[in-house]
A and B are shown apart, each in its own frame.
Chain A
Amino acid sequence: SQTIHQWPATLVQPVGSPLSLECTVEGTSNPNLYWYRQAAGRGLQLLFYSVGIGQISSEVPQNLSASRPQDRQFILSSKKLLLSDSGFYLCAWSGRAGVWGDTQYFGPGTRLTVL
């Protein structure tokens, strides 16, 4: 069966510090991968998605970036965090690369607080 992992689970960082959040998927190959952000009490906003290694599409221009160094690894990064980067970050995968409508399965999330 497929599982998705995210770490860390919780992170508190000062403004201006770097960020690296990691997501890995097990039990599948060549998945679509996604990063979402959820502000407190609100819906999810898609940040990045990837249909293959090294292929990243950005949905929202901001100081965050994403990379996919391996087939089942997706990393969210920032060189300098802003207060507005605080939120709950969710990684998701879907089974068929480039196919829309496939169900997305979500990881447990990372709660990021920028002080």
Chain B
Amino acid sequence: AQTVTQSQPEMSVQEAETVTLSCTYDTSESDYYLFWYKQPPSRQMILVIRQEAYKQQNATENRFSVNFQKAAKSFSLKISDSQLGDAAMYFCAYSTSYGKLTFGQGTILTVHP
């Protein structure tokens, strides 16, 4: 079974600085998808970024980018120019067949003004 591990229960960053959230996963499949979701205090899950495993190029969405290391099974999220609105819990997720998502335990990100 696939597992997703987020080893940082909490992280903090100063406003305008850069922070990196870590994620590792375990799978025997060669084709899969990886996601980062953000859960603000409202608790609605919001997609941040999506990576297709067959693509070597790292995905980027504005201030959010990933460092995808397939051989190491690592998928970290970098947030540049952090903003107060980035404060949330961030979940790494792996997509299995039929799009079933396996989630990590989450990292709480605090942004200090």
Q: Which residues of A contact B (CB under 8 A)?
A: 32, 34, 36, 38, 41-46, 49, 51, 57, 59, 88, 90, 92, 94, 98-109, 111
Q: Which residues of B contact A (CB under 8 A)?
A: 4, 32-33, 35, 37, 42-47, 50, 52, 91, 95-106
Of the residues A43, A102, A109, contact of B91 by C-beta under 8 Å: A43
Known: A100-B96, A111-B43. 4 other contacts (CB 8 A): A43-B105, A100-B95, A101-B33, A101-B52
Please count the residue pairs between chain A and chain B whose beta carbons lie under 8 angstroms apart in the complex: 68
Interfacial chain A residues near B102, Cβ < 8 Å: 46
Chain B contacts of A59 at CB under 8 A?
A: 100
Contact of A44 among B42, B47, B52, B91 (CB under 8 A): B91
B45 to chain A: closest residue by CB: A106
Contacts of B97 in A (CB 8 A): 100
Rounded to whole angstroms, the CA-CA distance of A29 and B64 in the bound complex is 31
With A43-B91, A90-B45 as contacts: A104 and B101 at CB distance below 8 Å: yes
Residue contact B42 to A100, C-beta cutoff 8 Å: no
Measured between alpha carbons, how far is A80 from B37 in the docked complex, in Å? Answer: 32
